[in-house]
Amino acid sequence: MVAATPILLAALGELVVERAGVLNLGVEGMMIVGAICGFAAAVETGSPVLGFAAAALGGAALSLVFGVLTQFLLSNQVATGLALTLFGLGLSALLGQGYVGVKPPATARLDLGPLGDLPFVGRVIFGHDWVVYLSLALTVAIWWFLTRSRAGLRLRAVGESHDAAHALGLRVRATRMAAIAFGGAMAGLGGAYLSLVRVPQWTEGMTAGAGWIALAIVVFASWRAGGVLIGAYLFGGVTILQLNLQAAGAAIPVEYLSMSPYLITIAVLVLISARGNRRTLGAPADLGRQFHATR
């Protein structure tokens, strides 16, 4: 669960962004900026909760740069997203100069009383920090928002056909900016989970590709919250499992074990998305297309 949570958080944010019709490839950059913002805030204030809040703000602030460039100045989304990743990596290195080798305050495990004392189940299911449960709650909330709520319907309309949505009087640009900011905040949380819980320390480039995996999981999950959850947990679970197998001395060559998280995640998610073939793969129709009201 610990290995899956950062990817899950970032992928959920990207899911909402893409459902609104925006392709933001800057997840990695927003994650690493979230990692350093959260780390710095947690160290300075001594509170991990404030750290996570600062991480969400930092990620959202960076994503708004992307939002302004792509939604108002109509720059190319793919190129801007890639630039955002490079910018985020550089910016985080700069911000993080004073924080190398510092230990962050510990993020508390949620005390669930007697539940945590249950054998095995207590440790596996109830023995985590609060961010893990937050990420699960957010998965449900986002699923409900996208499929059951009015606002979610509007957001999907904007993603499927921004011209039609505009003609109906929906505010395309405002919706997309909100989605972008939300995606940035989620990526920021994911990054902070790495620097505050999973590692926990600050080092340059510590996201090490997690943002790209999050992007891939959104695609393979055919843009559904449930699929994102399965993908992230599958990837995280197999990552940990292969290390455990190595440590236990399994007679499988190390190289196969190392690639197994990627292979198994792709295989299972392809199977999941194959079921939805009749309704197309599920990509929003206007994904990555620019919108301008006068066109």
Partner 1 sequence: MKRRTFLGAAATAALIATGATAQDEPLKVGFIYVGPVGDGGWTYEHDQARQAVEAEYGDRVETVFQESVPEGADAERVMTQMALSGADLIFATSFGFMDPVMNVAERFPDVKFEHATGYKTAENVSNYSARFYEGRAIQGYIAGEMTETNQIGYIASFPIPEVVRGINAAYLAASEVNPDVQFNVVWLSTWFDPAREADAAQALIEQGADVILQHTDSTAPQAAAEAAGNVITFGQASDMAEYAPSPRVSSIIDNWAPYYIDRVGAVLDGTWESQSVWQGIDKGMVEIGEITDAVPEDVRAEAQRRMDAIANGEMHPFAGPINRQDGSAWLAEGETADDATLLGMDFYVEGLTGDIPN
Binding site for partner 1 (CB under 8 A): 2-3, 93, 97, 100-101, 103, 194, 198-201, 203-204, 206, 208, 210, 239-240, 243-244, 246-249, 253-255, 258
CB of 104 to partner 1, least distance (A): 9
Give burial (CB, 10 Å; 0-12/13-18/19+) of 82: middle
Tokens representing 69 are: 């460039």
CB of 99 to partner 1, least distance (A): 9
Question: Which C-beta is closer to partner 1: that of 88 or that of 159?
Answer: 88
Q: How many CB atoms lie within 10 A of CB 116?
A: 16
CB of 214 to partner 1, least distance (A): 14
CB of 16 to partner 1, least distance (A): 25
The alpha carbon of 270 is separated from its chain's Cα centroid by a whole number of angstroms, namely: 20
**Which ranges constitute the DSSP H helices of 161-198?**
162-167, 172-193
Measured CA to CA, the distance from residue 51 to residue 262 in angstroms comes to: 31
CB of 212 to partner 1, least distance (A): 14
Question: Which C-beta is closer to partner 1: that of 160 or that of 204?
Answer: 204
Question: Which C-beta is closer to partner 1: that of 100 or that of 137?
Answer: 100
Measured CA to CA, the distance from residue 88 to residue 36 in angstroms comes to: 10
Question: Which C-beta is closer to partner 1: that of 21 or that of 261?
Answer: 261
CB of 59 to partner 1, least distance (A): 18
Question: Which C-beta is closer to partner 1: that of 93 or that of 125?
Answer: 93
Question: Which C-beta is closer to partner 1: that of 71 or that of 207?
Answer: 207
Closest among 146, 156, 129, 105 to 286, alpha carbons compared? 156
Task: Give the H/E segment covering residue 27.
Answer: helix 27-45
Measured CA to CA, the distance from residue 20 to residue 288 in angstroms comes to: 10
Closest among 242, 256, 209, 251 to 89, alpha carbons compared? 209
